Amino acid sequence: MPVAGGARQTMVDALRAIALLGIVVVNVAAYRSGVAPSLSAGGGALGGTVDPLTVGLAALTEGRFYPLFSFLFGWGFAVQDARSRVRGRSVVGPWLRRSAVLLGLGVLHAVFFFDGDILVTYAIVGALLPLVRRVPTAWVAAVGGTMLVFQALFTAGLVALSVAAAGDPVEVRADVRADMVADAEVYATGSFLDVARHRAGDMVLNVPFGLLSVGGTVGGMMLLGVAAARLGWSDPRRWPPALRRAAVPAWVVGILLSVPAVWLAGHGAVWPDDAGQAALSWLLYALLGPAVALAWAAVVLRTGEVPALRRAYDAVAPAGRLSLTIYLSQSVVFSLVFNGYGLGLGTEVGLGVAVAMAVALWLVQVVLARAWLHWFTMGPLEALARAVAYLRWTPLRRRHC
């Protein structure tokens, strides 16, 4: 099985770095006042209006980057499995211990900093990846694609049934908005421990709901990542000619199709008018999200063949090597910036300013990642995960230092 190395691995790191940018832009809506508000619905403003800014940002990012990171998660498993085979070892033990670290970090993250955490879902679903180690690549890809479609249909049906059984949408919408206002009040005025208790209560429902509603999407994208890594598709020269030609046009088409889907999702974000609207909205979200995520991966890898863009990707790639540390530190920073126990800016800044802050933080993290990797071999949380996975501590400091 081809394993990405050298220049090809740098492009995968660059893809992770770009995914981190997309994730912080999406999450900034929830950072401001709790996880319930979405970017498409007024950028996290309670009862916010759907406008060109929110639709444009959501079409580019919302529901696109957690599937992309799922894809890269599966990719990482395949690479580690291949390297373990070359060394005559099994990846199973280290992978399960690494998953346990992610689970622990995810729980701490969800309780203390951000209740939109995805690490818990990644850890639980990702722990099953060793089951496909000996499954043929074609079957892995087929099962992954089937999981994506099944999850979309299943959740769309479940959402439709829930809306149909809920009763008068006007009354339900008022109740949901009241709950969102109450949540926002906790984030705006509560102490650190008050908010942590609130998040812990939410996590009891968020984890099973997340597994039920997007677990198949996460698992399906992980399997597609496994298949792509086995095929050596970090190098576009290995792609079928049709895929090379279609990468950029497919991305453009996916974004254009996302605009009406996001508009529909934004208008029904607090509570949809009827079961049909709810089912269609979720179906579009669940199918377009992974499709555009794969298009993002394809267009980044494909445009990496352009020298000027390749230099830009090389510049941001170090952030991809510290993806776990950067993802969690984004939540720490914005938890302190937006919540009442910190600067309390959640209700003071608009979406445009919040997104600009998110992009600025990402740029700072890229610079810090480059500086960190000059002195150290990996990020601090990456080192922790590696130490637990392999039951030994690897010195962080580079020899030249």
312-359 pLDDT, tens digit per residue, is 999 999 999 999 999 999 999 999 999 999 998 887 888 888 899 999
Decide if pLDDT at 161 tops 50. yes
Mean pLDDT is lowest, of 13-22, 175-184, 232-241, 274-283, for 175-184
Q: What is the pLDDT of residue 50?
A: 67
Mean pLDDT is lowest, of 96-110, 116-130, 161-175, 358-372, for 161-175
What is this structure's pTM? 0.92
Residue 283 counted as domain residue: yes
**HSE-up (13 A, CA, CB side) for residue 147:** 23
Residue 62 counted as domain residue: yes
Q: Which residue has the higher pLDDT, 8 or 56?
A: 56
| Amino acid identity, position 394 | T
CB 74 within 8 A of CB 129: yes
Decide if pLDDT at 204 tops 70. yes
Average pLDDT along the chain: 89
Decide if pLDDT at 35 tops 70. no
Q: What is the pLDDT of residue 41?
A: 53
Residue 2 counted as domain residue: no
Decide if pLDDT at 92 tops 90. yes
Rounded-to-integer distance, Cα 33 and Cα 347, Å: 8
Q: What is the pLDDT of residue 400?
A: 62
Structure tokens of 273? 């008018």
Give the mean pLDDT of 174-186. Answer: 82
Residue 20 counted as domain residue: yes
Question: Looking at the 3D structure of the chain, how many domains does it have?
Answer: 1
Q: Which residue has the higher pLDDT, 119 or 56?
A: 119
DSSP 47: T
Q: Tell me the pLDDT band of 209, cut-offs 50, 70 and 90.
A: confident
Residue 222 counted as domain residue: yes
Largest CA distance in the chain: 68
Tens digits of residue pLDDT in 109-130? 999 999 889 999 999 999 999 9
Residue 397 counted as domain residue: no
Give the mean pLDDT of 78-104. Answer: 95
Q: What is the pLDDT of residue 49?
A: 60
Residue 398 counted as domain residue: no
Decide if pLDDT at 72 tops 60. yes
Q: Tell me the pLDDT band of 293, cut-offs 50, 70 and 90.
A: very high
Q: Tell me the pLDDT band of 172, cut-offs 50, 70 and 90.
A: confident
Decide if pLDDT at 17 tops 90. yes
Task: Encode burial over 167-197: b for 16+ CB neighbours within 10 A, e otherwise.
Answer: eebeeebeebeeebeebbebbbebeeeebbe
Q: What is the pLDDT of residue 44?
A: 44
Q: 72: domain range?
A: 7-390
